[in-house]
Structure 1
Amino acid sequence: MRALTEDELRESLVNAAPDEKRVVALPVDFLLTDWDHLDFLAWRDPRTRGRGYLVTERDGAPTGVVLRAAEGTSRARSAMCNICHTMQPADQVALFTARKAGSAGDAGASVGTYICADLSCHENVRLAPPLAPSEVRASVDLKIDGTRRRTEAFVERVLEAS
């Protein structure tokens, strides 16, 4: 992912109103971001409970969405993130929704998916879990590519007209 300025990051948010863009809290380590090793940038808003952001590149341009985490907890013991396909304890996966862009979003349309609650999918796919006795390790590169594709597909769903 190419390096972004604060202004570029704010302007990339396709489902945010101008007032929302102005109050986006950037990641605390934004200035230290290693852009060369990012497939996408995702973070939770440190000032607003339940809000997160996800920015990826689409046709060479940064495209981001504002996310809202659902409140409440699941009674399940474990859950799978639909972005990185990592199994986690259920309290570490949350339902995130994003208002659709444009007139569909203005009319109240939204899309949602289950994502790692701390939005750490980028790091999670790079961690290699221990192997079971007869298990063969899948390529980490394949996991990274899949995560990037599913992230881009989610952003596309936000951009689709209803």
Structure 2
Amino acid sequence: MHALTEQQIRAAFVNASRREAANATLPDLDAVDWDNLDFLGWRDRRAPLSSYVVAEVDGELIGVLLRAAERTGKRRKAVCGWCEDVIVTDDVGLYVARRAGAAGRKGDTIGTLLCTDFRCSTNVRRKPTRTEAGQATDEELLIMRELRIAGLQERSARFLREVARTR
């Protein structure tokens, strides 16, 4: 992912009002490891249920405001819908995004299960476990990693496209 500026991020939001985009608490952009990210995702420190994701999709920067479902009762294990990591299953939550345009203004939303710390890019780049890889060669392990990265990029882009779709 290319390094982004604060202005690029704030201008990218497709389902947030100008005020919501202006009030978003951004992460420390100087500390971001851009080379190892497929999307930038973070939780708002000032609004614990608000989170954001920004990624380049089809050559366009798309940003989405997400709302986390309030956690009630016992935590359940789940698999993230983007990275599909089978190791990190206890820190996954339901996130809902208001659709862009008139549909979103009428209350239409779309949801997905995501890693609550948005570490999907790290998860797909980790070395596969023996259970996942079996007796794979180094070349096969590299192919597995590249396929996981491509899968994350495809699934996250599909979600962002769906949120941004106005018809």
Aligned-residue offset at 1:77: 4.7
Aligned-residue offset at 1:61: 2.3
Q: In 2, Cα distance between the equivalents of 1:133 and 1:105? A: 40
Q: In 1, Cα distance between the equivalents of 2:58 and 2:120? A: 22
One-letter amino acid of the structure 1 residue matched with residue 48 of structure 2: R
Aligned-residue offset at 1:119: 1.4
Q: Which residue of 2 aligns with 1:36?
A: 35
One-letter amino acid of the structure 1 residue matched with residue 156 of structure 2: T
The Cα offsets for residues 95-133 of structure 1, whole Å up to 9 and x where unpaired, read as 000000001000000000000111111111111243139
Aligned-residue offset at 1:64: 0.8
Q: TM-score, normalised by structure 2?
A: 0.86
For 1:42, what is the secondary structure of its paired residue? Answer: strand
Q: After TM superposition, where is structure 1 displaced by more than 4 Å over at least 4 residues in a row?
A: 73-77
Specify every segment of 5 or more residues in structure 2 that has no aligned partner in the other structure, as ranges: none
- Within the candidate set 135, 154, 158, 2:159 is matched to 154
The sequence identity of aligned pairs, in percent, is 41
Specify every segment of 5 or more residues in structure 1 that has no aligned partner in the other structure, as ranges: none
For residues 77 and 129 of structure 1, do their structure 2 counterparts lie closer, same or farther at Cα, with a shift above 3 Å needed? farther
One-letter amino acid of the structure 1 residue matched with residue 153 of structure 2: R
Q: In 2, Cα distance between the equivalents of 1:134 and 1:32? A: 32
Q: In 1, Cα distance between the equivalents of 2:132 and 2:8? A: 47
Aligned-residue offset at 1:151: 0.4
Q: In 1, Cα distance between the equivalents of 2:123 and 2:101? A: 32
Q: In 2, Cα distance between the equivalents of 1:158 and 1:64? A: 10
Query: Which structure carries more strand by proportion?
Result: 1
- Size of the alignment, in residue pairs? 160
Q: Which residue of 2 aligns with 1:71?
A: 70
For 1:113, what is the secondary structure of its paired residue? Answer: strand
Query: Which structure carries more helix by proportion?
Result: 2
Q: In 2, Cα distance between the equivalents of 1:34 and 1:159? A: 26
Q: In 2, Cα distance between the equivalents of 1:122 and 1:45? A: 19
One-letter amino acid of the structure 1 residue matched with residue 163 of structure 2: V
For residues 77 and 22 of structure 1, do their structure 2 counterparts lie closer, same or farther at Cα, with a shift above 3 Å needed? closer
Q: TM-score, normalised by structure 1?
A: 0.89
Deviates more, 1:65-74 or 1:17-26: 65-74
Instruction: Report the RMSD for the aligned CA atoms in angstroms.
Output: 2.1
